[in-house]
Amino acid sequence: MNAYFFKIPMVGDGGVGKTSLVTQYVNKKFVQDYKMTIGVDFQLKDEVLPNGQKVKLQIWDTGGQARFTSIRTVYYRGSHGIVFMYDVTNRASFQNLGRWLDEINKHNPNAKKLIIGNKIDLVARRLVSTTEGENYALSKGCLFGETSAKTGEGVREAMLKLIQAILPYYDTSERVMKKRQTNKRTVDPFLHSDDEELLFEYSG
Ligand code: G3D
Ligand code: MG
């Protein structure tokens, strides 16, 4: 397995641009089987940091499935970083960030968090300013970025911020992951043993 391997789920209201951003960033590498099995997609992205360090990202994206509690557990468990996205032209999507943050803090308080304001190409329709987004992120202990999943502006830059924040903590989380995997057989090294049980639960 790659030395640096980060699981990063995407969360945020429907329509804010999660799928578009992942597609823009990853360039279409679907792992279709997982989509069919558990109703959640993840895509793999090989990133090279400015210092030459290689990182493999497993970016999880979901449709509406995350509203089911048991899927959420699989979705968030073992994640190293989480992207919270809103749409700068949709104030409700910004106001709902608090709900997503509360939920993640229950499941995975240690993951590094990045808030992204998306659709900045829609300049005339913007309702949430950069400063407002930035201040909110700061107040919640999150990193912040603004993007256009349409033009690609800010996308890689935002993801790099998150990766750089995870790196110093990575070794510890990786050890925890390996320890868990020695306890039970796993079908896939990317998944935790507990996830496998849920995988069967959902494929049945
Ligand atoms: P979701 O995965 O969060 O639900 P999607 O969001 O990626 O499906 O995007 C929802 C809609 O917003 C899509 O339009 C998509 O093209 C659009 N969109 C996503 N990101 C941007 C962006 O940065 N700029 C602009 N202008 N549009 C964006 P449709 O029309 O297909 O519903
Ligand atoms: Mg989507």
Residue 152 in contact with ligand 1 by CB distance below 6 A: no
Band (198; pLDDT cuts 50, 70, 90): very low
Query: Residue 88 is encoded by which pair of tokens?
Result: 């700068």
What is the structure's pLDDT at 196?
Answer: 39
Specify the pTM.
Answer: 0.81
Residue 56 in contact with ligand 1 by CB distance below 6 A: no
Q: Which domains does the chain have, with CATH numbers?
A: 4-196 (3.40.50.300)
What is the structure's pLDDT at 66?
Answer: 53
**Identity at 66, one-letter amino acid code:** A
Do 41 and 30 meet the contact criterion of CB atoms below 8 Å apart? yes
Residue 16 in contact with ligand 1 by CB distance below 6 A: yes
Q: Which of 18, 20, 88 to mutate to test the pocket of ligand 1 (most atoms within 8 A of CB)?
A: 20
What is the structure's pLDDT at 135?
Answer: 98
Atom of ligand 1 nearest to the CA of 16: 3
pLDDT of 30 strictly over 60: no
The pLDDT tens digits for 139-165 are 999 999 999 999 999 999 999 999 999
